[in-house]
């Protein structure tokens, strides 16, 4: 009887653990790089880069909005991004108005609701630069 109860408890914990893992993995994505170093940039120059990511979850993702500072022009993968599919955020950095070196955060808001916080899924990536005078 004790062995039977032990096996039942083990099964309950195992199932609960698997449910938590699958719940976490339902909405998941992996960026190839969370931070990109643009290096030295002469003030006034423009530099392009990309943040590439893969939908590593089990649900389809869809980006709602991507935003950065006024020095950044952004474009991204529109529409649904299925499990295993890849997406990209294209970045054009214009250093014209920058006074010093720094980093710029890019906010990515998805249409998907994150059940842990009952709000849209949200990620932040950033790029850094070293500003040099012409």
Whichever domain contains 24, its CATH number is 2.60.40.10
Query: What range does the domain containing 35 cover?
Result: 2-132
pLDDT of residue 93: 98
CA angle (57, 68, 59) in 5-degree steps: 15
CA distance 87 to 95: 26
Classify residue 86 by its DSSP letter: E
- pTM (predicted TM-score): 0.80
pLDDT of residue 1: 53
Name the domain count of the chain. 1
pLDDT of residue 9: 46
pLDDT of residue 3: 54
Q: Are 60 and 80 in contact (CB under 8 A)?
A: yes
Q: What is the pLDDT of residues 11-51, one digit of tens each?
A: 545 555 444 444 447 999 999 999 999 999 999 999 999 99
């Amino acid at each position: 009887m004790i062995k039977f109860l032990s096996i039942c408890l083990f099964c309950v914990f195992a199932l609960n653990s698997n449910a938590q893992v699958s719940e976490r993995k339902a909405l998941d994505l992996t960026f190839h790089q969370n931070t990109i170093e643009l290096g030295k940039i002469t003030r006034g120059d423009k530099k392009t880069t990309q943040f590439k990511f893969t939908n590593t979850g089990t649900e389809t993702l869809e980006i709602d909005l991507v935003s950065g500072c006024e020095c950044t022009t952004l474009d991204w993968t529109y529409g649904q991004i299925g499990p295993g599919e890849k997406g990209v955020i294209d970045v054009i950095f214009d250093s014209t108005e920058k006074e010093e070196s720094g980093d710029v955060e890019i906010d990515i808001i998805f249409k998907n609701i994150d059940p842990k916080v009952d709000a849209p899924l949200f990620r932040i990536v950033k790029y850094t630069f070293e500003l040099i005078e012409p």
